[in-house]
Amino acid sequence: MKNPKKDTSRLNVVMFTGGRGSTALASQLSNAAEINLTLAINGYDDGLSTGEVRRFLGDSLGPSDFRKNASRIASLRNSCNLALIEFLDLRFPDDVSLDTVTAIEHVLCHSQWDANDIFIKKVSDLLSKLDEDTLTELETYYGAFLDDYSNSIYGFNFDDCSVGNLIFAGCFLSSKRSFNQTVERYSKILGIPSGVIVNVTNGENAYLVAIDRDGKFLESEANIVDDQNLGRIKDFYLINSSGQAQQYRKRSGRDLIQELDSGSAKITLNPALSLAVEHADLILYAPGTQYSSLFPSYITPGLGKCISQNLHALKLLITNLYEDAETRDASATEIIDRALYYLREKGHKEIPAPFLVTHYLVNVPDSVKSDHIPVGHIDSIEDPRLVRIGNFEEGISGRHHAEKILTPFVKSLTESRLRPTVAVLLMESKSIDKATQTMLELIRARVGSLSCDITVYHLAPIPENITKRKDLPFKTFRIEANSGLGDKTLIDTACQSGADYICLFESSGMYHGHDIVNLAANIDGQHLDAVWGSRRLSRHDMKASYRFRYKHHAINGMISALGSHALSAAYLFRHGRYISDTLSGLRLVKTVHVQNVAQHINHPCFNQFLLSELLKSGNKVFELPVEFLPISPEKVKRTSISEGLRSLWVIFWPHKQRVD
């Protein structure tokens, strides 16, 4: 398969899954337009008709889980005629005759055929709904299987075999016995693009065997999942052939384990899966039959290392809701431990757990049933930051609630990939010198390196040698406003622009443009509602400011300092949050919050309206120290004692203030 380039416009999701355990998760992911989904599956299934296909072909992995997932994805995406899916999922009746089996080829070729057979009549009805190209493709693969069958010395038991398994076998024969090419061909029949359903390995044939806790040898995957097997699985192994299992029947204890270890099948990681993992934004270890479907995928040599090298992806291990035959009496924490054990290739690789799994999702139902998997010793997980505990079941359906599980993580990843837009408002000034100085400081602070897009809104007529430069790392937008309405026009225009954040920058000359860059650097992912510039976080700057402003009026300086602390204490009392500099002139805030108080922009206590809006609902506000230059009170307006008292009133009763 040709290695695709990473699609940065969509989220790339890799999910390790089996046949049915991840149905709800696959449905949620397949229906999302912004997601590229890769399902990673192994082919060690050897039960029933899948086992019959493997026995007949001799060197093929099992088609069952690939076929089931292909039908599910095609149905969810409506990628082909639903009659095709139904045809491929049809199962021959028990005691089916060879005439019925061969009749399907005649129907595919539009040959006349006696349709008194109920099964063939249903086949004819379904195939009549398909187009010529699809019929030709199906006939090619079905015919390839029948040709091989007619020339083979081996028989085939068609009872309860799905038609899709025979088509899959025909694809295998037509693909020169390359299993991974077979998966691609079969997917293509259903309109599924290459790379959506992939085999974990390079297609090497291998068979799954296990030993249970009582030392009993389980010689096939079918034995492992058998409900009659009351012993829990101790460990599993991959061997080269089903015939090889027969020689192990006579072994037991350490001799058996040593022979199984030394006789392990040599499998290699599928490069297509390696590339998908490398580019993944989200990796899911789905729930399901652990020892037969999932753990055997994890043990693939090199897979754990490949996953660990992707440092930016979120990696979720979702534990089962209910127990099954192979995890009887196992807890969620035991499943987690075993998953890590196999991802580390049975402990042979030393890989830190967070490199393999970033979140363990452990189910704790509202009402525990006897067959719910218990949590186990959750304290045994060394880092509690990796654990998410909740009721992840959809009602009492036995299915995971896919939206509840996936939405927080998908939303987090989607937001982190978006470049936030920031409107910087140069307020309270029409000075060309001050506006250009701020812009030059932005350029020198490497504003272009930020992961956000910035537009500077200004009132001053900036020279074209700045605004018309093609290499300017931000956009500029001049607002022409009537006298006294400049700031109101600035804020109204910015709110209507669709920007994610608005940076309110006092252009008196007291603040530095490079601090805009420092504030904007903290909004990656849009998790913060505001980054608030604080002058008071620097004691040195505050002392210098008070010495400059109140060197001849020590009492006024003391009143100013106490008043500032009083406003901070008021927020602590009113909202439970201490804001050190409530009068700051450098604030970067989500647009929605600025919009809610924009009518107060000319009010002398605007900051208190804005902070009250931010803190009333527990929004995330991050204070960041900013540099400032003390300027003479004759040049800039200062907060008076009366305005300070009015600010206290706004903090406690913001909705009782008139709009200025």
- Using 50, 70 and 90 to split pLDDT, how confident is the model at 311? very high
Q: What is the mean pLDDT of the chain?
A: 86
Determine the residue type at 264: S
Whether 157 maps to a domain, the answer reads no
pLDDT at position 642 is 73
Co-location of 283 and 258 in the same domain: no
**pLDDT tens digits for 239-248?**
988 777 777 8
Candidate ranges 2-6, 72-76, 250-254, 322-326; pick with highest mean pLDDT: 72-76
Helices H, strands E: what count in the chain?
A: 27, 17
Query: What is the CATH number for 308?
Result: 3.40.50
H or E segment to which residue 490 belongs:
helix 486-496
Residue numbers of the domain that contains 560: 420-656
Whether 298 maps to a domain, the answer reads yes
Residue with tokens 């187009």: 131
Domain count, the chain: 3
pLDDT surpassing 80 at residue 221: yes
Whether 310 maps to a domain, the answer reads yes
pLDDT at position 15 is 96
Determine the residue type at 620: K
pLDDT at position 412 is 81
Whether 105 maps to a domain, the answer reads no
Compute the distance between CA of residue 221 and CA of residue 209 in angstroms, rounded to an integer: 6
Q: At what angle do helices 179-189 and 64-77 cross, to 10 degrees?
A: 30
CA–CA distance from 635 to each of 159, 419, 631, 632, 639 (Å)? 94, 38, 7, 6, 13
Question: Could you tell me if 54 and 182 are in contact, meaning their C-beta atoms sit under 8 angstroms apart?
Answer: no
Answer positive or negative: Cα dihedral of 235, 240, 242, 244: negative
Whether 314 maps to a domain, the answer reads yes
Residue with tokens 């927080």: 408
Compute the distance between CA of residue 519 and CA of residue 623 in angstroms, rounded to an integer: 9
Co-location of 228 and 301 in the same domain: no
Task: Name the token pair of 58.
Answer: 């001799």
Say which residues have a Cβ less than 8 Å from residue 149's Cβ, sequence separation at least 6: 56, 156
Co-location of 218 and 332 in the same domain: no
Co-location of 443 and 494 in the same domain: yes
- Among residues 386, 402, 417, the one where a domain terminates is 417
Compute the distance between CA of residue 42 and CA of residue 208 in angstroms, rounded to an integer: 11
- Among residues 369, 393, 417, the one where a domain terminates is 417
Co-location of 426 and 307 in the same domain: no
Co-location of 503 and 525 in the same domain: yes
Residue with tokens 């990473």: 6
Co-location of 211 and 300 in the same domain: no
Nearest to 102 by CA among 136, 137, 150, 135: 150
Nearest to 162 by CA among 86, 222, 223, 107: 86
Runs of H (alpha helix) within 216-331: 221-224, 242-248, 253-262, 271-279, 295-298, 303-309
Co-location of 310 and 449 in the same domain: no
Q: What is the SS3 assignment for 152? A: coil
Our CA angle for 344, 349, 355, nearest 5°, is 60
Co-location of 551 and 573 in the same domain: yes
Co-location of 442 and 579 in the same domain: yes
Task: Name the token pair of 228.
Answer: 């009659």
Co-location of 495 and 563 in the same domain: yes
Compute the distance between CA of residue 270 and CA of residue 284 in angstroms, rounded to an integer: 18
Determine the residue type at 323: E
Whether 652 maps to a domain, the answer reads yes
- Among residues 384, 417, 450, the one where a domain terminates is 417
The DSSP secondary structure of 172-210, one letter per residue, reads HHHTTT-HHHHHHHHHHHTTPPTTSEEESBSS---EEEE
Query: What is the CATH number for 567?
Result: 3.90.550.10
**pLDDT tens digits for 555-607?**
555 555 666 778 888 889 889 899 989 989 999 999 999 999 999 998 889 99
Whether 184 maps to a domain, the answer reads no
- Using 50, 70 and 90 to split pLDDT, how confident is the model at 400? confident
Task: Name the token pair of 598.
Answer: 């924009």
**pLDDT tens digits for 420-448?**
899 999 998 888 999 999 999 999 999 98
Question: Could you tell me if 233 and 293 are in contact, meaning their C-beta atoms sit under 8 angstroms apart?
Answer: no
Co-location of 529 and 584 in the same domain: yes
Classify 171 in phi/psi space as left (phi over 0), alpha (psi -120 to 50) or beta: alpha
Whether 160 maps to a domain, the answer reads no
Question: Could you tell me if 285 and 353 are in contact, meaning their C-beta atoms sit under 8 angstroms apart?
Answer: no
